[in-house]
C-alpha cells in the first residue's frame, strides 16, 4: 500500500464484490489496516489474507440482496460499508433489452440502496458509520454501448448526495469514489481495442491507467477518522482524466 495506512482495529466492514479487482483490493487494504471484513459476493471464494468471511448473494435479485444483508446485520456490528459490486451489459441503446437494463440497475444502483438501508439504520442509531459507494467516470461522461451502466453510476452519485443530506446529521459519512481507467474485468471490452486504449491513455494527464491499490487507498482515507468532516463527495481517482 505504499506506506499508506490507517488503524481500523476493532472495526467491521462489508465489501460487495470482493472476489477480485477493485473490491478485492479494497477488502485487502481494510484487512491490512486491522478491520474484520465480510465479503458479500456472488462467488464463494476470496483470495484475501486476514480476518474475513464470505457471504454469498446474487445482487441481481432484490430478495437475495435483502436476505444476505439481514443475515449479516443480525450477526455483525458493521461500522463500514463499501458498495463496490457492479456489472455492465453492453448493447447499442436502440436495441438495449429491458431485462438487461433492469439487471444493471438492480446490481449497480438498487442494491446500493438496499444494502445502505439495512446497514445504515444501525449506524444512525449509534451516531457513527462510514459508507463508500463506487461510482465511475461514466457517472459524468456518457458510455458507448453502456447506457444502463452510465445511468446507474450517475444515480450512485446522486444517491450519495441524498444519503449525505439526510444522514450527515446522524454522524454517518456517505461518500463515493469515481474510478478512472483500470485494468479490471469490467474494462475487458475496452482492453481488446488497442487503438481505443491509446486514445484513452492519451487523455490521462499521468499517461497511465491506474492500479486497484489507488482506489483502495482512497477508500481507506474516506473510512478513516481523517475524513470525519467529509460528506457527500464523489472523489475521482483517475490520474487527472476529468480535468482535461
Q: Is 149 a catalytic residue?
A: yes
- CA angle 96/97/100 to nearest 5° reads 105
- CB of 160 closer than 8 Å to CB of 232: yes
- CA angle 150/25/240 to nearest 5° reads 50
C-alpha cell belonging to residue 28? 485487502
C-alpha cell belonging to residue 134? 463506487
Query: Among the options 149, 181, 229, 241, which is catalytic?
Result: 149
- CB of 20 closer than 8 Å to CB of 4: no
- What does residue 131 show for φ and ψ, rounded to 5 degrees? -125, 130
Q: Could you give the CA distance from residue 13 to residue 176 in angstroms, rounded to a whole number? A: 16
- CA angle 59/65/66 to nearest 5° reads 165
Say which DSSP state 142 is in. Answer: P
The answer for residues whose C-beta is within 8 angstroms of residue 76's C-beta and 6 or more apart is 12, 14, 36, 38
C-alpha cell belonging to residue 15? 465489501
The residues carrying an active-site annotation are: 149
Amino acid at each position: 500500500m505504499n506506506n499508506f495506512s490507517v488503524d481500523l482495529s476493532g472495526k467491521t466492514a462489508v465489501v460487495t464484490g470482493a472476489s477480485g479487482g477493485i473490491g478485492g483490493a479494497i477488502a485487502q487494504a481494510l484487512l491490512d489496516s486491522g478491520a474484520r471484513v465480510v465479503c458479500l459476493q456472488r462467488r464463494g471464494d476470496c483470495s484475501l489474507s486476514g480476518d474475513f468471511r464470505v457471504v454469498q448473494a446474487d445482487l441481481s435479485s432484490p430478495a437475495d440482496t435483502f436476505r444476505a444483508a439481514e443475515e449479516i446485520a443480525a450477526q455483525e456490528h458493521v461500522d463500514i460499508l463499501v458498495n463496490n459490486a457492479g456489472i455492465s451489459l453492453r448493447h447499442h441503446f436502440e436495441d438495449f433489452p429491458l431485462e438487461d437494463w433492469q439487471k444493471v440497475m438492480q446490481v449497480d444502483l438498487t442494491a446500493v440502496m438496499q444494502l445502505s438501508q439495512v446497514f445504515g439504520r444501525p449506524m444512525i442509531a449509534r451516531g457513527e458509520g462510514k459508507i463508500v459507494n463506487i461510482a465511475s467516470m461514466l457517472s459524468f461522461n456518457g458510455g458507448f454501448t453502456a447506457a444502463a451502466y452510465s445511468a446507474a453510476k450517475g444515480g450512485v452519485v446522486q444517491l450519495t448526495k441524498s444519503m449525505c443530506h439526510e444522514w450527515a446529521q446522524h454522524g454517518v459519512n456517505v461518500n463515493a469514489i469515481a474510478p478512472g481507467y483500470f485494468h479490471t474485468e469490467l474494462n475487458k471490452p475496452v482492453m481488446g481495442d488497442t487503438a481505443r486504449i491509446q486514445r484513452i491513455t492519451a487523455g490521462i494527464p499521468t499517461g497511465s491507467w491506474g492500479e486497484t491499490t489507488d482506489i483502495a487507498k482512497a477508500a481507506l482515507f474516506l473510512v478513516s477518522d481523517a475524513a470525519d468532516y467529509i460528506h457527500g463527495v464523489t472523489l475521482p481517482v483517475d490520474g487527472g482524466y476529468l480535468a482535461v
